[in-house]
Amino acid sequence: MSAGRSMKLGAFLMAGGHHIAAWRHPLAVADAGADIAHFIALAQIAEAAKFDMIFIEDAAAIRERNANIASQASRSTMFEPLSLLAALAVNTSHIGLVATASTTYNEPYGLARTLASIDNLSRGRAGWNLVTSASELEAENFVSSGLRPHAQRYERAEEFVGAAIATWDSVDAGAYVVDGGIYADPSGLHPVDHLGTHFTVHGLLDSPRSPQGRPVMVQAGASDAGKNLAARTADVVFTAAQTLQEAQEYYGDLKSRMPAFGRNPDDLKILPGVLPIVGRTESEARQKYAELQELIPDEVGVALLASYLSIKDLSQYPLDGPLPAMPQTDGIQSRQQLIIDLGRRENLSIRQLARHFAGSRGHWQIIGTPTQIADELEERFRAKAADGFNIMGAYFPAGLEDFISLVIPELCRRGLFRKNYEGRTLRENLGIKIPAHGA
Amino acid sequence: MHLGMSITPFGHHPAAWRTGRSVEAIGFNRLAAQVAKAQAGNLAFVLLADRFGQRPLHDLSPEAVPFEPTTLAAALATASRQIGIIASAATSQHEPYNIARRFASLDAISAGRSGWNLVVSAEALARDKEYVEVVSGLWDSWEEDAFICDKAAGRFFVPHKMHVLDHRGEHFTVRGPLNVNRSPQGKPVIAHKLTLPTFEIAAQYAEVIFIDAPSPEKANGLVAAFARRLHHYGRDRSDVKILADVVIYPGATSAGAQELRDSLDAMAGHVQWSNALQLVGDTREIADRMQQWTQAGIVDGFTILPCLVPESVHALVDHIVPELDRRGLLQRSDEGFTLRDHLGLRKPQHPASQVVA
């Protein structure tokens, strides 16, 4: 590779595809959310193309309260991510496996142990996308009544991460010996003794230390508290940024926070999500996009937009008018601002914004030829706006296959992406150090 | 007679790991090889036990699987195609919504071969009873034919075939619905290790009952008492499968088997480490004892706890299973696809479809 620095690519998988109407596309596997063979095939396709990782998002609830609206989209049901990753772990050999799990609705020891289990099943390829869970539908599925305030969720997340790391670090490499009458070397075992505000953990990991030390930590938070948590603890950050300028500002801000936590900015990889619609010609790409947009019911698009804005109902406002004035809520504040900004900047109506966001769900989308797409990715990669990208196939498997067969060869030609995996663990392939024990 | 096998890295005997084993045994491949062997023997299921919270920190004796059981189950599901996989999970360690998802997902990954070994807290049984009701209710969130995936009409599911649980109880408030499809086998099988404090919860909800009993008399008393509690809850003895845990020490000869046991006990420094039935002998002797137990109508089968892995697993599948089969004692598990098929357990119908029928 020419430059030494190469893009890190994630394949962001989602049952039918990232476009909200993807499941209706003739090439999409409609019932993919319950088809394990489909997911194994996707992971293997991404691995053959040398993606760094696959990425699975999650919410511990259905995503739309209104049954009529929900029933017009394919996103209500899906495999539970940690069991899905475990199944994928033993059907792949090099690709990283990142699943989303909530610090609000899990306990640190149990989740750390489950992730360690996946890390060992995959021989060091697991990652954890930490979320603090902002949706009311999730809150209603757990004892805790009501959504916890943003600050309180992050306070819990901070403590959660500390307890999880202590759990992963409770076993040294090689502590399990099983030889000469010794089962485990006591000097390699460091029981967790955590007594905090939110958790009490006394325990020891009952499995060997992961080949990559501990799972790769992924985050997406973009609030001030979220950025600080990421600057202190994340190995990979997944973001939504529409424009080059937004992406650069985010990138610069987050990396500049790292030295204060004693970290080198290169040890954190920032991967904006991008939904590429690839055509051999630009008009073919535009036509593919138009086909998908045609399949979106307005009800679904507007409901999705309302959920990103964390407001209950948008349908009372004129579809062809602008967004109403919005109060700050306890939901995902960063994405809310991004939508409001885009609406103002481009003077978009509710219907136009809904269509726009239903497609990419708030992420950057590029419609064009392999050269055009590679140009845009390269620009952001070189302009300190991204260390790589989380690729969101519009529909599966064809949307991912198009990117692999048309765009990746172009990235490789430019020396921007690997031809072979550098190592066997996710940390090795990302070029991120195994964390110092107890750090 | 139904047979299952409990998976451990070295064997169930506490001294098994001392017999010249290596750390390789705690890796996935060796465990998967045991499951493949059990599947080749047409066993109904493998059990992935968990020592979570059951042992003091300084005791690292390797009796349980060295992975978190539900994630190991998912991995094993893709590495097998017929055998059932029952994973342990404790109500104290997961929120009910999360456990309902995990097992519904496992059932989809395994195409209907999953079971939940319900581990409860003796001191919180009222909470646990509500917990199981919530999980079971969440498993009824979707009717079997809810997902029509009608691309042309733009209708992914039939709205009235989604059911919002809206549970508001003393210990849990859970709206639902579950965000995983209905299980291929209706609901994952619920298994439970019977103890005196957990009689009531087992009698209400469990479908596979594991018992520890060193003698037929002890087993008889336990099963009779349990059957009375089943009737109390409107269930029948035939609605559950009661399986006795049995540690096997198989040998080519009786003397060889006894020698194996003696040497293991000597290495462990103690002999009394389990209340389960212990069978020491050659193939014929072990088969005879199993036959006596099932023909007396005490139990429906056994969960085999091999004393040493892989030797006892091989003896089980290569010798004991064929011997039981020759005697016509085994229920064939190679004809069905789901764990319920293998065990002869009824597939639960969705409450809404029962009303229509």
Cβ B109–A36 below 8 Å, yes or no? Answer: yes
Cβ A78–B180 below 8 Å, yes or no? Answer: yes
Handedness of CA A30, A35, A41, A47 (dihedral sign): positive
Handedness of CA B163, B164, B166, B171 (dihedral sign): positive
Handedness of CA A14, A16, A17, A19 (dihedral sign): negative
In a domain, B139, yes or no: no
Q: Which residues of A touch B145 (CB under 8 A)?
A: none
Please name the residues in contact with B327: beta carbons below 8 A apart, sequence gap of 6 or more: B287, B291
Please name the residues in contact with B198: beta carbons below 8 A apart, sequence gap of 6 or more: B120, B122, B125, B192
Instruction: State the average pLDDT over residues A298-305.
Output: 87
DSSP H/E element including B277: strand B277-281
Contact B192, B202 (CB under 8 A): yes
Answer yes or no: is pLDDT of A223 > 90.
no
pLDDT of residue A332: 58
Alpha-carbon gap: B346 to the closest alpha carbon of chain A (Å): 23
Q: Is B54 on the interface with A (CB under 8 A)?
A: no
Distinct helix (H) and strand (E) counts, chain A: 16, 13
A126-140, A263-277, B18-32, B43-57: lowest mean pLDDT where?
A: B43-57
Cβ B156–A23 below 8 Å, yes or no? Answer: yes
In a domain, B167, yes or no: no
Contact A161, A219 (CB under 8 A): no
Greater confidence (B106 vs A220) lies with B106
Full domain range(s) for residue B86: 2-123+187-356
- Selection from B28, B237, B139, B346 nearest residue A123 by Cα: B28
- Selection from A423, A389, A418 nearest residue A4 by Cα: A418
Q: Give the separation between CA A397 and CA A273, rounded to whole angstroms.
A: 18
pLDDT of residue A135: 86
A317-326, B137-146, B160-169, B284-293: lowest mean pLDDT where?
A: A317-326
What is the tally of structural domains in chain B? 1
Alpha-carbon gap: B338 to the closest alpha carbon of chain A (Å): 16
Q: How many CB pairs under 8 A join A and B?
A: 190
Q: Give the separation between CA A34 and CA B182, rounded to whole angstroms.
A: 10
Q: Mind listing the pLDDT tens digit for each residue in A370-380? A: 999 999 999 99
In a domain, B336, yes or no: yes
Contact A109, A343 (CB under 8 A): no
Q: What is the DSSP string of A83-146?
A: HHHHHHHTT-SSSEEEEEEESSSS-HHHHHHHHHHHHHHTTS-EEEEEE----HHHHTTSSS-S
Residue A53 pairs in a beta bridge with: A10, A96
Q: Give the separation between CA B101 and CA B92, rounded to whole angstroms.
A: 16
pLDDT of residue A1: 41
Q: Which of residues 134-163 of A touch B (CB under 8 A)?
A: 137, 140-143, 145
Answer yes or no: is pLDDT of B325 > 60.
yes
Q: Which residues of B touch A60 (CB under 8 A)?
A: 97-98, 101, 179
Q: Is A27 on the interface with B (CB under 8 A)?
A: no
Specify the pairing of strand A176-179 against strand A182-184. antiparallel
Instruction: State the average pLDDT over residues A171-177.
Output: 89
Tokens 């620095």 correspond to A5
Residue of B nearest to A92 (CA): B75
In a domain, B203, yes or no: yes
Instruction: State the average pLDDT over residues A203-223.
Output: 90
Cβ A70–B26 below 8 Å, yes or no? Answer: no
Answer yes or no: is pLDDT of A350 > 60.
yes
Q: Mind listing the pLDDT tens digit for each residue in A397-426? A: 999 999 999 999 999 999 999 999 999 999
The residue type found at B271 is V
pLDDT of residue B52: 58
Instruction: State the average pLDDT over residues A210-227.
Output: 92
Answer yes or no: is pLDDT of A251 > 50.
yes
Q: What is the CATH number of the domain that holds B90?
A: 3.20.20.30
Fold entry, domain A8-280+365-430:
TIM Barrel (3.20.20)
Q: What is the DSSP string of B215-259?
A: SHHHHHHHHHHHHHHHHHTT--GGGSEEEEEEEEEE-SSHHHHHH
Q: Which of residues 172-211 of A touch B (CB under 8 A)?
A: 176-179, 181, 183-184, 189, 191, 202-204, 206-208
pLDDT of residue A181: 80
Residue of A nearest to B100 (CA): A80
Q: Is A325 on the interface with B (CB under 8 A)?
A: no
In a domain, B313, yes or no: yes
In a domain, B138, yes or no: no
Instruction: State the average pLDDT over residues B271-299.
Output: 92
Q: How many CB atoms lie within 10 A of CB B272?
A: 6
Q: Is A350 on the interface with B (CB under 8 A)?
A: no
pLDDT of residue A3: 47
| Mutation to test the A interface, candidates B175, B182, B183, B185, most A Cβ within 10 Å | B175
Answer yes or no: is pLDDT of B301 > 50.
yes
Mean pLDDT of chain A: 91
Answer yes or no: is pLDDT of B63 > 80.
no
Mean pLDDT of chain B: 92
Residue of B nearest to A182 (CA): B18
Cβ A105–B98 below 8 Å, yes or no? Answer: yes
Q: What is the DSSP string of B120-174?
A: --GGGHHHHHHHHHHHHHHTTSB-TT-EEEETTTTEEE-GGGB----EE-SS-EE
In a domain, B20, yes or no: yes
Instruction: State the average pLDDT over residues A228-240.
Output: 94
